[in-house]
Amino acid sequence: MCQKAETGSPSLLYLYHAFDNRPFWFRFVWRLSDTLRRFICRMPFPIRLAVCELIAVFVYWPMARIAKVCDRLYRQVTQFPLAAYRNRSFVFMRNDCLDRFAYAESRDFSRGS
């Protein structure tokens, strides 16, 4: 399933920050998800793919839909978990979930880094 990229093909680099300016609960949820990522990324790829699909279905999609409803009711949703996905397709959410949870290499950066 995984193939080497062709010479000269583009690469994607995701940079996540350490959430220095976020509330405690946000940082806690992030650490929890990172612990989950460390477990999932060790699984065989077909299982990783299935687990990420389940996370997208049962976590990403419902949270994004709740944020979308709140947004339509003129509620502030910028601090709501996964609100950034409220206007995104399920395929987009599933791909981001796979990017987040299925791969071992991840480093967080703080403002001081």
pLDDT tens track for 67-112: 999 999 988 888 888 999 999 999 999 999 998 898 876 555 566 6
* Strand, helix or coil for residue 8: coil
- DSSP E strand boundaries for 1-113: 16-17, 108-109
* Strand, helix or coil for residue 16: strand
- Residue 17 CA to residue 109 CA, distance in Å, equals 5
pLDDT tens track for 11-23: 666 666 666 777 8
- Residue 62 CA to residue 86 CA, distance in Å, equals 10
Using only C-alpha atoms, the chain has a radius of gyration, in whole angstroms, of 16
Domain-by-domain residue ranges, the chain?
16-109
* Strand, helix or coil for residue 108: strand
Look up the pTM and report it: 0.74
